[in-house]
Every structure is written in C-alpha cells, then in structure tokens.
Amino acid sequence: MKIQTSRAGTFRPRTCSPLWRKPPEEWRTRLEAACRFSGSGQTPALFFRADDIGAGGRAFRALCDLFRKHGVPLALAVVPAWLSQSRVEQLFQSAPLEEDLWGWHQHGWRHVNWQKTGKKSEFGEQRPLDKQWKDIWQGSHKMKEIFGERTLPVFTPPWNRFSEATLMVLEQLGFKAISTTEPLPRNSKAAKGLINLRIFVDLHTRKGPDPEEDFDKLLRELSAALTRKDPVGIMIHHQRMTSFAFEFLDAFLEIVRQNQPRACRHLSDLI
C-alpha cells in the first residue's frame, strides 16, 4: 500500500513545528545512523500514541494507512465529547472497529483547559475531585457505548497533565493505566494501582525554533528510547503533520520493523 505523502504541499497543516516544514539534508541517513539497536538481544517495547482523535479526514486516513502498511499497532487517544455519529462513522472508515491494530482509549472528556493560572490542564490541581469524577465517568461511559469491548482501560490526560484527584478517580472507575509524559508521584496511594505508560518522544508538538538543532535532538531522543528496558511511548499529532512528517514516520517505522519486528506493541499488551 502506497502512502501519498511524498508530493510537496500534500499536507500543509495550519500549525506545525519548524522541524517539519522542510527536510534536513541527508535526513534518512542520519535517522538510520541514530536507530542502531543494541546487540544484547534485548527487544525494546515501543508504542505509538496518536492524540486528539475526534474526527476523520485526510491526515487521519493517511496516518491509519501508514500504520496498516507496516502492520504496527497505534494507540488512538479519543476525546469522547468530540464524537458525533457522523464523526464516529468517519473514524471507522479509516480505522475499522474490527481491525486489531487500533488501541482505542480515553483522552480526557472535552479537552478544555480549566486552569486559571499556570500550564493548561483539563484535570489539574484547580479542578475539584467531584467535577473530575463526573467528566471522566461521562467519557468512559461514552467510550464503552461506541467502542464496546475494544475500549481499553487506559487514560491519556490532555496536555499530559493530571492531579492526585485524577489518579483517585481513575482507580475508582477501574482504569488500569495512565499514559503521560511524567513519572507518577511516589507518595500517591492511588498511583500504586496504575501502570504509567510514559511518553518519551514527542514528534509533532515540538517547540524548538531551530529546525536543524531540533532534528538532532529528536534523533538523540529516538536513539535513547531504543535502549530503554521499560515501555517507551512515541506521541503523534496527525493534525500537525506535514508531508515530511509523514515521510519521516514512514521511514522510522520501516527501520524498526526491519531490525526489531517484535518491538512495536499494542497498548493492550502493555497493561
């Protein structure tokens, strides 16, 4: 299956990181050099998480086609409140519910910021426990209505931020894991019952102003990720992907599959 992302201008998102606007020189060679797998026989555990899922479209279809092409599972973090019947039908056209590749799980409730100060968060310290409980419960109920037994008991908090109240609610509602960028607090009783499926590499919401410098940084992050013993999450935002972003991801998936075909895990295998 051929992914039509190679023509310049095929994908021109309104917002994208400077890194993805133009391919750096010899980027494929540099990517291959960075992705040197350990000769110890240890297989890394990689999972890919696509955030802000709530509608179909060309970029979402291209993303699903790309992962289907390589046979790599993709964790789809769905914002429940964004889903209408027509949007659900759009999603299933690109990622059929009966297809085993997709890890459907909950991405907050509405993906709105409730913090009056500080960094954005839907479930931050300024959000009371009762309101967090109501929103997460509503989202969980809607997810199960739409995705049924395909719904995984995994919660991705918007902006990867959460509070102690969030962990308490997740434990009460039977979630098995949270997926975020930070380690869980050691002194949290609620956190002890949850697996943290951490994100170590952010592909598309990067803020580095210098594309060349940021590209080198990304390669170092990927290289380090391939040597970790614990599961490593790689975060995707398809709405921010340019044609080069698709080409890069295509090349990376090919390298991983050729060198470590068992490295890419389904979210369900990690919980």
Where are the chain's structural domains?
18-35+42-270
Topology of domain 18-35+42-270, CATH: TIM Barrel (3.20.20)
Query: Which amino acid is present at 50?
Result: A
Low-confidence ranges of the chain (pLDDT < 50): 1-9
| Residue entry with tokens 């995705």 | 147
- Per cent of the chain over pLDDT 90 is 86
Q: How many CA atoms lie within 13 A of 35 on its CB side?
A: 22
User: What is the total residue count of the chain?
Assistant: 271
- Locate 139 and state its tokens: 């989202």
Indicate the residue type of 237. Answer: H
Secondary structure of the chain as H, E, C letters: CCCCCCCCCCCCCCCCCHHHCCCCCCHHHHHHHHCCCCCCCCCCCEEEEEEEECCCCHHHHHHHHHHHHHCCCEEEEECHHHCCHHHHHHHHHHCCCCCCCEEEEECCCCCCCCCCCCCCCCCCCCCCHHHHHHHHHHHHHHHHHHHHHHCCCEECCHHHCCCHHHHHHHHHCCCCEECCCCCCCCCCCHHHHCEECCEEEECCCCCCCCHHHHHHHHHHHHHHHCCCCCCEEEEECHHHCCHHHHHHHHHHHHHHHHHCCCCECCHHHHC
Tokens found for residue 91:
């999603």
Q: Look at residue 1 in the predicted model and tell me its pLDDT.
A: 42
pTM (2 d.p.): 0.94
- pLDDT tens string 62-105: 999 999 999 999 999 999 999 999 999 999 999 999 999 999 99
State the pLDDT at residue 192: 87
Q: Give φ, ψ of 80 to 5 degrees.
A: -60, -40
